Amino acid sequence: MATTDIATSEEIDRRIEADDTARRLKRSAAAKQVGELATTRAELATQLDEVERQLGEVLADASDVLDIDELARFTNIPAADLTGWLTAHKPSRTNKKKKPSVTAPSTTTRRPSTVKAPTNGQASATPETAVPRTDTVATPERVTAGVT
C-alpha cells in the first residue's frame, strides 16, 4: 500500500466526526421519541385511571337499581369488566380520628409503685425491701479468654 493512500490525521478526525454526528443524531432522535411517547403514555394512563374511577362511582351509585348482569345485558359490556371497575372503586373514606398507638411508658420517668393498704382506720405497715435469695444454684465464674 502506498503512503499516499493513507488518510491524514485531519481526514481521520473529519471521518470520525461525520460518523459520530450521524450516530449522535440518530441517538438523539430515538431518545426524544421515547421521551415523547412515554409522556403521552403517562397522560393517557392518568386519563384512563380517571375514567375507570368514574365508572366505578357510577356503578356503585346505580347498584341499588341495576345489577351487574342486567347492566352487562343492556350494554354488551362483559360482566367481568363491570365487576372489575366496581370492585376497584374505593368509597370515599370518612375522616375518623386515629386512635393513638399504645406504647410502653418510658422507664426513665417511672417511679417505684407503692401498694396502698386498705383504709380501714388502721395504720399501714412499712413495706419490706427485697432481699436477694441465697438458696439459688451458684452461678459459674466467668472465664476470660486470652485473645491475641
Q: What is the pLDDT of residues 68-83, one digit of tens each?
A: 999 999 999 999 999 9
Residue 50 has pLDDT above 90, yes or no: yes
What DSSP line would sit under 6-55, residue for residue?
SPPHHHHHHHHHHHHHHHHHHHHHHHHHHHHHHHHHHHHHHHHHHHHHHH
Q: Which residue segment(s) compose the domain that 36 sits in?
A: 8-88
What DSSP line would sit under 69-134, residue for residue?
HHHHHHH---HHHHHHHHHH--PPPP-PPPPPPP-PPPTTS-----PPPP-SSSPPPPPPPP---S
101 found inside a domain: no
Residue 142 has pLDDT above 80, yes or no: no
- How many CA within 13 A on the CB side of residue 121? 0
29 found inside a domain: yes
66 found inside a domain: yes
What percentage of the chain reaches a pLDDT higher than 70?
Answer: 58
**What is the predicted pLDDT for the residue at 59?**
93
**What is the predicted pLDDT for the residue at 65?**
93
Burial 37-53 (b: 16+ CB within 10 A, else e): eeeeeeeeeeeeeeeee
Threshold 0.75, pTM exceeds = no
- Across residues 50-63, what is the average pLDDT? 93
36 found inside a domain: yes
139 found inside a domain: no
**What is the predicted pLDDT for the residue at 88?**
87
**What is the predicted pLDDT for the residue at 134?**
63
Residue 92 has pLDDT above 60, yes or no: no
User: For residues 54 and 62, what is the distance between their CA atoms, to the nearest angstrom?
Assistant: 12
Number of domain units in the chain: 1
